[in-house]
Amino acid sequence: MSASSTTAPPAPPGPPARAAARSELSLRSRLFRLEGKAAPYAYVAPFFIVFAAFGLFPLVYTMWISLHDFELGSDMQWTGLDNYVWLFTNEKFYNSLFKTVTIGVLSTVPQLMLAIGLAHLLNYRMRARNIFRVSMIMPYATSVAASTLVFAQVFGRDNGLANWILSLVGVDGLDWRNGDLSAQIAIAVIVTWRWTGYNALIYLAGMQSIPGDLYEAAALDGANRWQQFLHVTLPGLRPTILFTIVVSTIGATQLFGEPLLFGGVDGGALNQYQTLGLFMYQQGWGYGALGRAATVAWVTFILIIGLVLLNTGLARWRDRDKDTGGRAAVHDTEQEARP
């Protein structure tokens, strides 16, 4: 059988046809090889093209603008690093940097602590659990404008809900909007209200990936719920916590919509709640100084990169003594976080 097949080749395809077939085959295989090499690039190209157009180009162009005197409605003039000198000698910049940090701490810390508590509660078996879980995300789905306008009424000086509650416990009403700390607290409350649920859901997802037998083992060892939370949940959540801290830090650095709608672009009579975002907006669209606004944008960008590196660096440093498993988990979360 095998001999006949080798000794009797099919007659019709003669030598020339066979040559053609061979060259066709090699073209095909070349194309195939080309496809194998090029196709992955073609598949990822859309992302990079979009990123170049909407991510990289604005970034580089903003850098370019920041080196110019560019008034809204007139032409650019090269001024080198003048804008940066102006920025770093400007009290208002340091003020806004400081206010960004204080409002950031006032909003991020309670927000993450509340979120972890809520996630812990939602992790228990209970009636209508999904309804509670979905309701967590509702504030996040509300627009910044809507929630800020409502909270501006709540924190109103005359007839505001917050002052009414204070009056119930015998405290005099505050001028929330015009005070220093009071305005910052009000803004922090808006931010906290919007983002707590979002973070709670992320923590909840993290909690569900902690194996149940760890809790069983802890319970067998006599740990109560609080001890379980401290010694099982928290260590298991560490990569998730790092992720939320990084994301919240970035959000806090870019805080803009809430203070703008709460009190306007000056951020109060003494700029007491003028964040970096507001400061940038004021330069660009309040005063029409686009060059200076671009400078603020770049400095903010570099600041955010610095903060993220600091955050992850601290986490790495803390993990050095721990087992490698923890570090791998951290690494994984970073990968998840990227897109």
Contacting another protein (CB under 8 A), which of 20, 34, 38, 47?
A: 47
If the CB atoms of residues 134 and 269 are measured against another protein, the closer one turns out to be 269
Token duo for residue 240: 């998730």
Q: How far apart are the first and last CA of the chain?
A: 59
Structure tokens at 70: 């560019």
CA dist 191 and 255 (Å) reads 9
Out of 17, 25, 44, 234, which residue is the one contacting another protein (CB under 8 A)? 44
Burial 37-74 (b: 16+ CB within 10 A, else e): eeeeeeeeeeeeeeeeeeeeeeeeebeebbbbbbeeee
Between 324 and 335, whose beta carbon lies closer to another protein? Answer: 335
Looking at 156, 231, 249, 308, which residue binds another protein (CB under 8 A)?
156
The interface with another protein within residues 81-140 (CB under 8 A) comprises 90-92
User: What is the closest distance, in whole angstroms, from the C-beta atom of residue 51 to another protein in the complex?
Assistant: 8
Q: Which stretch binds another protein (CB under 8 A): 30-38, 71-79, 130-138, 250-258?
A: 71-79
**Contact flag: residue 266 with another protein (CB under 8 A):** yes
Closest by CA to 179, choosing from 155, 160, 159, 144, is 155
Tell me, by CB under 8 A, how many residues bind another protein.
Answer: 38
* Chosen residue from 158, 172, 321, 323 binding another protein by CB under 8 A: 158
Piece in contact with another protein (CB under 8 A), picked from 2-10, 24-32, 154-162, 205-213:
154-162
- 157, 250, 303, 311: residue in contact with another protein (rule CB under 8 A): 157
Q: How far apart are CA 252 and CA 97, in angstroms?
A: 11
Q: Which is nearer to another protein, 219 or 265 (CB)?
A: 265
Q: How far is the CB of 90 from another protein (least distance, A)?
A: 6
75-114 burial, b at 16+ Cβ within 10 Å, e below that, comes to eeeebeebbbebbeeeeebebbbebbebbbebbbeebbeb
* Binding-site ranges for another protein (CB under 8 A): 43-44, 46-47, 50-51, 54, 72-74, 90-92, 152-153, 156-159, 175, 177-180, 263-266, 269-270, 272, 284-289, 339
